[in-house]
Amino acid sequence: MTSKKSAQKAERVAQRKAERNIPIRSSVKTYITKARKLILANDLDAAPEAVKQAAIVLDKAAQKGVLHPNNAARRKSRLMKSLNAALAASPKKLAARPKKQVKKEEKPIESVESVEAIEKPKRVRKKKAPE
């Protein structure tokens, strides 16, 4: 038992934070385990979605301060690496999603004659003030 009041309070605060972090850490472990099991089972239809969910949970845990951001990034990287290795090794590739077509507004092209017909205002030079 600590003897100073500030140390006692710090201990209580640390205990509260630890209790609050337990369910978040547990959910992180659960999502990572589910993703790993799907990857090892070569269920490559459900694995990318599971990895995506695990990454979201890891990001939230890092944002709340439960995990260090580098720890979360490392775990996500390892999950993605194992998923990509499984996808590369599988003979059946996932169907590539069609990319969204971005519609560009077509601007009318001005003819050369119309551009030349536009008069530019004459440039007026300012006189320098005498020094």
> Nearest-CA neighbor of 35 among 57, 15, 52, 14?
52
8 A C-beta contact, residue 80 and residue 52: no
Instruction: State the sign of the Cα–Cα–Cα–Cα dihedral 47, 53, 56, 61.
Output: negative
Q: With contact defined as beta carbons under 8 Å apart, do 58 and 75 qualify? A: yes
Tell which wins on pLDDT, 110 or 54.
54
Mean pLDDT value across residues 122-129: 78
Across 97-119, average pLDDT: 67
- Asked whether residue 131 carries a pLDDT value surpassing 80, the answer given is no
82-98 pLDDT, tens per residue? Answer: 999 999 988 765 555 66
Identity of residue 112: V
Q: Please tell me whether the overall predicted TM-score, pTM, comes out greater than 0.75 for this model.
A: no
pLDDT of residue 98: 67
Higher-scoring residue by pLDDT: 97, 65: 65
Cα 27 from chain centre: 19
pLDDT on residue 111: 60
- Domains identified in the chain and CATH numbers: 10-87 (1.20.58.110)
Element (H, E) at 64: helix 47-64
Q: What is residue 27's predicted lDDT score, i.e. its pLDDT?
A: 96
Mean per-residue pLDDT for 3-17? Answer: 94
> Cβ contacts of residue 23 below 8 Å, gap of 6+?
none
Quick check: 53 pLDDT over 90? yes
What average pLDDT does range 113-130 have in this prediction? 72
Name which of 32, 47, 31 is nearest 89 in CA terms. 47
How far apart (Å, rounded) are the C-alpha atoms in residues 8 and 118? 80
Helix or strand (DSSP H, E) at 35: helix 5-40
